[in-house]
Amino acid sequence: MSYLYGISPNNKIKATGSKGKYLFFKNKKCLDLSFASGSLILGHTSKVFKKSIKSINQTGSNYSLLNTFVEKFSLTLKKIYPEFSKFIMCATGSEANMKALRIARAITGKKKIAMISGSWHGSVDELLYSSHDDMSKFQKKLSNGLVNYRNTILIPYNNIERSLKILKKQKKQIAVLIMEPIQQSLPLEQSEKYIKEIYRYCKKANILICFDEMITGMRLPQFAVFKKLKITPDILTFGKIFGGGVPIGIIGLKKKIEIKLNKSKNAVFFGGTYSFNPLSSYIGLNTLGYIIKNKKKIYQKLEKLSDYFTKEFNNFTYRHNIDVKLIRYSSIIRILFTKKKTMNKIQKDENEFKKTKKINQFKEYVFKKNIFLSKNGAIFLSYENSKKDIDYILKIFKSGLKQYLS
Ligand X SMILES: Cc1ncc(COP(=O)(O)O)c(C=O)c1O
Binding region for ligand X (CB under 6 A) = 37, 92-94, 97, 120-122, 180, 184, 212, 214-215, 239, 249
Q: Which is nearer to ligand X, 195 or 214 (CB)?
A: 214
Label each residue of 77-124 as H, E or C.
Answer: HHHHCCCCCEEEEECCHHHHHHHHHHHHHHHHCCCEEEEECCCCCCCC
Residue 23: its H or E element = strand 22-25
Closest to ligand X by CB, 94 vs 191, is 94
Query: By three-state DSSP, how is residue 318 classified?
Result: helix
HSE value, Cβ hemisphere, 13 Å, CA-based, for 215: 27
Nearest partner of 99 among 235, 295, 240, 254, judged by Cα:
235
Distance in Å, CB of 100 to ligand X, minimum: 10
Q: How far is the CB of 208 from ligand X (least distance, A)?
A: 18
CB of 206 to ligand X, least distance (A): 25
Q: Which residue is nearest to ligand X (CB)?
A: 93
Q: Evaluate whether 306 touches 331 at the Cβ level (below 8 Å).
A: yes
Distance in Å, CB of 85 to ligand X, minimum:
22
- Please say which residue, 94 or 139, places its beta carbon nearer to ligand X: 94
Shortest distance in whole angstroms from residue 388 CB to ligand X: 29
Q: How far from chain centre, in Å, is Cα 182?
A: 8
Smaller CB separation from ligand X, 249 or 278: 249
Separation CA 30–CA 212 (nearest Å): 30
Nearest CB to ligand X, comparing residues 241 and 324: 241
* Single-letter amino acid code for the residue at 379: I
Burial level of 316, CB count in 10 A (0-12/13-18/19+)? middle
CB closer to ligand X, 31 vs 128: 128
Closest distance of CB 318 from ligand X, Å: 30
CB of 1 to ligand X, least distance (A): 26
Write the DSSP assignment of 249-292 as a string of letters.
Answer: EEEEE-HHHHHHHHH-SS------TTTT-HHHHHHHHHHHHHHH
Comparing CB distances to ligand X, the nearer of 135 and 142 is 142
